[in-house]
Structures are given as structure tokens and as C-alpha cells.
């Protein structure tokens, strides 16, 4: 028996298999079915958000260390993370709630910097914080503050258009939201931009490392891009933000819930040269590193090219690529390597960078 069987460890918060087991074996076990279920997408679906009475509902806590890092801060992540988890199901966020836990000794100047950043992110996303809570704890290991942002989103015409487009090519499509479980063999997998930027930016701030360039976090609300994409092009059956555990974990979620495999092509995966170099220096796999401004899309094959060219014309999606396809030939994730071989992409046990969000 190891510590991870008897105690909570840092890996339990790192987004890979260890965290998924914690959520499944403890949180879902105790909470699911406590009262009669009225959720269309319930807790046990373990998707990016839940759906109850046609309202998409999401809660997300943030404990990034340090609270300020290149390209962002804890407040910008907290707003963007919740907005993006609501948006990837196909809903538009309508209201947020924010609960702060502030640490004794936090400077007012730092608190105001975080609040200013949250206000800016709310303005970008077009949604207000309408309720919340503030607590203070003694000086300890919080690193200044942690916070929770929850939110609600509503169904809108963009999602109806998206579904109508899917049904042109897949008559039997019965999905009402863009869920991880909606994929079918032949669907194309797209990524909206370069991978690993956020995790490496936070790691550089944690360790005081310089990689000879400006690697900045990609943290941003993506709801307008997503709404425009599904409202004008359409054909996106499943969508996910590639946060802790990175692309590898997100693809495994798709595979597990859709009961299919995914083949990706190494030469199509967008990674900045400086991020790739930093990963090589540190022995990290960029496919396992978290992002805060990137989505993975599963799309009907007939619309994949159109979705790609739409994304490429947006500032958030200019580096988008079609990186692979869904297959019934195997389960899990495999990668066609640049030199012509095939490699299994195992599900990460946890994001290699701790406290990235």
C-alpha cells in the first residue's frame, strides 16, 4: 500500500488517472443518487459541466501557484475555466458566482490586481459575477488566495444550428449537447491551437526558469469563438477544453466515453518551438501538459475542413489543426509518429506540472 492509497497526495489534483479515480471512487460514489436524479447530464457523466432543466451548470476551484504568472493570473483562469467548461457543451454563460478564500497577509495591491483581471475576463466573456462569498484563513500554504467560480449557461440558437448541421450527415444523431460520448468512427479531431503554453508558463514562474523566450499562458474565455463556430459552421459533435493532463487526457476522456479509439498524427500537432525545447530540456511530454485557452473538437468529417478554416480566421484559433480521427479499429489513443511508426499514447497518471490551475 502506498501513500496514495491512504492519503490525499498532490497527484490527486493533477488531472490524470489518479484524479479521475478519486472523483469516481469517492466523489461520485458518495454524491450520485443522494436524491432522485433530475439532471439530463448528471454528475456521473463526469463531463465538463452538468445539465439540469436545460441549464448548463459548472463549478471549478482554482489554486494555481504562483497566483501571477506570464500571460495571466489566478483570477483570469478562474473566470476562463468556468466559462470554457460551460461553452464546450454548447451553452452561452449567463451568470457566475465567485467564492474567495484569502490568506492572511495578502496585499490589497495584489488582491486588486486579481479583481481587475477578473473584471477584464468577465467583460471579454460578456458575463457578470452575480453572487459569491469571501473567507479569510491564517497564513499557510495557499500562496495568497484560492477561489471557486461557478456558473450557469443557457441553450441558444447557435447550438440548434450546430445540431441541425450534424443531422444533415448523421440522421440518427440524438445528442442535445456537445458531449464526450457523442463521437462516432470517422469523426475528425481538431485542436484550436498550440499545446503546452500554459503549463510551461506556470512552471517557469514556479521554478524561476527562463527558456530564452516569452512563453505565455494562453488563458482566455473562448465562449464567443465557440458560439460563432457552432452558430455559423456547425457539425461539432463533441468538445473539450484541454486543461490538466493536456491533449492526452482529453482524448482518453473522449475514447472512454464514446467507446472508440483515436488516431492522431504527430506532424499535425501544433506545438511552439520554444515549448517543445522547454519540454525536451525538462523531460516532459507536451501532450500531457495543461492548456487554459485551447479546445479539442470532434466533428463530422464532412465539416472538418470548414471548421478548420473558420478557426484559423479567429485570433484564438489561428494555429488550429485537424490532428486525427476516431476509429473503431482499436480502443484508446495512438499516434502516427513523424518518422512513420505508431505509438500508444497512454493516459497520463497526472499532469507533470503541479498546481497549474
Shortest reach from residue 293's CB to Mg ion, in Å:
12
Peptide bond preceding 255: is omega within 30 degrees of 0, i.e. cis? no
Q: Which is nearer to Mg ion, 85 or 288 (CB)?
A: 85
CB 88 to Mg ion: min, Å: 6
Nearer to Mg ion, 73 or 241 (CB): 241
- In terms of CB distance, is 241 or 249 closer to Mg ion? 241
Whether residue 212 contacts residue 114, with contact meaning beta carbons closer than 8 Å, is answered with no
The backbone torsions φ and ψ at residue 236, rounded to the nearest 5 degrees and listed phi first, read -85, 115
Q: How far apart are CA 73 and CA 70, in angstroms?
A: 8
Q: How far is the CB of 17 from Mg ion (least distance, A)?
A: 16
Question: How near is the Cβ of 242 to Mg ion at its closest, in Å?
Answer: 8
Min dist. Cβ of residue 352 to Mg ion (A):
19
Question: Would you state the cell numbers that stand for residue 65, as one nine-digit string?
Answer: 501557484
Residue pair 97/87 in contact by the 8 Å Cβ criterion: no
Nearest residue (CB) to Mg ion, 118 versus 242 = 242
Cell of residue 164, nine digits: 441541425
Residues 6+ apart with CB under 8 A from 152: 55, 56, 57, 58, 86, 93, 94, 95
DSSP state letters, 213-241: S---------HHHHHHIIIII--EEEEEE
The nearer residue to Mg ion, 85 or 292, going by C-beta atoms, is: 85
Residue nearest to Mg ion (CB): 48
CA–CA dist 341, 355 (Å, integer) = 34
Nearest CA to 80 out of 124, 49, 15 is that of 124
Nearest approach, Cβ of 237 to Mg ion (angstroms)? 16
Q: CB-wise, 85 or 187, nearer to Mg ion? A: 85
Q: Which is nearer to Mg ion, 48 or 218 (CB)?
A: 48
| Residues 289, 333: Cα–Cα separation, whole Å | 16
Residue 141 CB, nearest approach to Mg ion (Å): 25
Q: What residues line the site for Mg ion (CB under 5 A)?
A: 48, 85, 241
Quote the distance between the C-alpha of residue 134 and its chain's center.
Answer: 26
Q: Collapsing DSSP states into helix, strand and coil, what is residue 25? A: helix
Cell 450527415 appears where?
169
Task: Specify the residue, 69 or 254, whose C-beta has the smaller distance to Mg ion.
Answer: 254
Residue 296 · residue 250 · CB < 8 Å: yes
Minimum CB separation of residue 243 from Mg ion in Å reads 6
Amino acid at each position: 500500500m502506498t501513500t496514495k492509497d491512504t492519503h490525499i497526495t498532490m497527484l490527486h489534483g493533477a488531472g490524470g488517472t489518479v484524479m479521475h479515480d478519486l472523483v469516481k471512487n469517492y466523489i461520485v460514489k458518495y454524491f450520485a443518487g443522494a436524491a432522485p436524479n433530475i439532471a439530463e447530464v448528471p454528475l456521473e457523466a463526469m463531463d465538463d459541466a452538468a445539465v439540469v432543466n436545460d441549464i448548463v451548470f459548472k463549478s471549478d476551484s482554482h489554486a494555481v501557484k504562483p497566483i501571477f504568472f506570464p500571460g495571466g493570473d489566478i483570477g483570469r483562469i478562474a473566470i476562463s475555466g468556468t466559462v470554457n467548461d460551460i461553452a464546450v457543451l454548447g451553452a452561452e454563460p449567463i451568470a457566475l458566482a465567485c467564492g474567495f478564500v484569502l490568506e492572511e497577509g495578502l496585499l490589497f495591491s495584489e488582491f486588486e490586481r486579481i479583481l481587475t483581471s477578473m473584471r477584464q475576463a468577465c467583460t471579454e466573456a460578456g458575463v457578470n459575477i452575480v453572487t459569491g462569498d469571501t473567507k479569510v484563513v491564517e497564513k499557510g500554504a495557499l500562496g495568497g488566495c484560492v477561489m471557486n467560480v461557478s456558473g450557469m449557461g443557457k441553450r441558444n440558437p447557435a447550438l440548434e444550428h450546430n445540431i441541425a448541421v450534424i443531422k444533415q450527415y448523421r440522421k440518427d444523431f440524438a445528442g442535445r449537447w456537445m458531449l464526450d460520448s457523442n463521437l462516432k468512427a470517422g469523426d475528425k479531431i481538431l485542436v484550436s491551437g498550440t499545446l503546452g503554453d500554459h503549463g510551461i508558463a506556470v512552471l517557469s514562474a514556479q521554478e524561476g526558469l527562463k527558456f530564452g523566450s516569452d512563453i505565455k499562458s494562453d488563458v482566455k474565455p473562448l465562449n464567443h469563438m465557440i458560439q460563432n463556430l457552432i452558430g455559423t459552421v456547425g457539425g461539432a459533435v463533441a468538445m473539450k477544453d484541454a486543461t490538466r493532463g493536456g491533449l492526452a487526457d482529453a482524448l482518453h476522456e473522449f475514447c472512454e466515453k464514446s467507446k472508440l479509439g483515436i488516431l492522431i498524427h504527430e506532424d499535425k500537432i501544433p506545438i511552439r518551438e520554444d515549448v517543445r525545447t522547454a519540454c525536451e530540456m525538462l523531460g516532459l511530454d507536451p501532450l500531457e501538459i495543461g492548456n487554459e485557452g485551447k479546445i479539442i473538437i470532434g466533428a463530422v468529417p464532412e465539416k472538418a475542413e470548414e471548421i478548420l478554416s473558420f478557426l484559423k480566421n479567429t485570433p484564438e484559433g489561428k494555429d488550429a489543426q485537424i490532428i486525427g480521427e476516431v476509429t473503431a479499429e482499436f480502443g484508446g489513443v495512438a499516434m502516427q509518429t513523424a518518422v512513420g511508426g505508431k505509438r500508444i499514447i497512454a493516459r497520463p497518471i497526472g499532469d507533470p506540472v503541479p498546481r497549474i490551475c
